[in-house]
Amino acid sequence: MRTPIETKQTVDRAAFKQFEGESILIVDDNAINRKLLLTLLDGSGITAVTAVDGLEALQRLQEAPRKFILVLMDVNMPRMNGLETTREIRNDPDLRDIPVIALTASTSPDEVEAIVQSGMNAFLDKPINISKLYRVFEMFAPYGIARKENRSVPTPDGEIFDPKQGLEYSSGNMQLYESLLRDFLETYETAPESLKEALAVEDYDTLETIIIDMEGISGTVGARRLHDAVVQLHRAINDRDRAAIDTAIDRMRAEWKRFARNARAYLSS
């Protein structure tokens, strides 16, 4: 992810109870930053182990390779920084699947690219608050190493929603795929209504803007029938056929509901 994790949610410590009993690793050379993160998780039932640099982090991970459901990793540290540490994690067969989330105060394009290339899954920009931290757990903790062996993947209706296709586009990276799927569900939930509003004023530029992105991403996440409906709608928009656009939007809305029902059941299982 090349944009920082953000949230519109307002949460408190009680929201973390679903992860009670799990363990995470916090890696940061700054004692104040470690204290902040520990305080945010205080009373949650989550065990937070700390390390002051990458070398200590690797030691903690290698001592108990299936203990932690995710790692919060500062980027800039002495001895071994977060980028080097993450590369070591990705090269270790026992650790490579654990989600690693960067902690950084710098979000310059070069820094973000370095984070992505190191193998980190996403990044939190400082200052960190409880809502941002909860969003990290919501997105990545359910798929960490500690739970991976017990995770079962349901089989949705493949004509409506095919996660195997989505995983292929995500190079088999489950964390990446399910993160994209959640983002797609959240971002385009109101797309049919937005399209109807744009059509009412014949705003074809807005229609095309919405549908172009949706066309590519629906295919990427494996929303098969929805993708077909979006392609049909795109053709109608290109033809400036208002009646056909209206009909295609109605079809897309129906397919969206079927897809969202299947996708949410898949994610919650």
* pLDDT for the residue numbered 9: 66
Query: Higher model confidence: residue 2 or residue 231?
Result: 231
What confidence tier does 156 reach under pLDDT thresholds 50, 70, 90? Answer: low
**pLDDT per residue as tens digits for the range 83-131:** 999 999 998 888 888 999 988 877 778 888 888 889 888 888 877 888 8
Please, which residues bridge with residue 125 across strands?
104
The helix/strand/coil state of 191 is helix
* Residue among 43, 51, 87, 83 at smallest CA distance from 67: 51
**pLDDT per residue as tens digits for the range 29-45:** 999 889 998 988 888 88
Local structure of residue 126 (DSSP, 8 states): S
**pLDDT per residue as tens digits for the range 14-33:** 778 778 888 999 999 999 88
Query: Higher model confidence: residue 13 or residue 205?
Result: 205
* Residue among 48, 31, 234 at smallest CA distance from 141: 48
Kindly write down the DSSP assignment for every residue of 45-98, as one continuous string: S-EEEEESSHHHHHHHHHHSTTSEEEEEEESS-SSS-HHHHHHHHHT-TTTTTS
The helix/strand/coil state of 128 is coil
* pLDDT for the residue numbered 158: 66
Locate tokens 């969003």: which residue? 135
Domains of the chain, CATH where assigned: 13-148 (3.40.50.2300), 163-268 (1.20.120.160)
pTM of the model: 0.54
Rg (CA), the chain: 21
Rounded to whole angstroms, the Cα distance separating 32 from 126 reads 12
Mean pLDDT in the chain? 84
Number of H helices, E strands in the chain: 12, 5
Query: Higher model confidence: residue 157 or residue 155?
Result: 157
Q: Is residue 144's pLDDT more than 60?
A: no
Task: Answer whether the bond into residue 142 is a cis peptide, omega within 30°.
Answer: no
What confidence tier does 258 reach under pLDDT thresholds 50, 70, 90? Answer: confident
CA angle 124, 128, 133 (to 5 degrees): 70
Rounded to whole angstroms, the Cα distance separating 202 from 185 reads 26
Q: Is residue 51's pLDDT more than 90?
A: yes
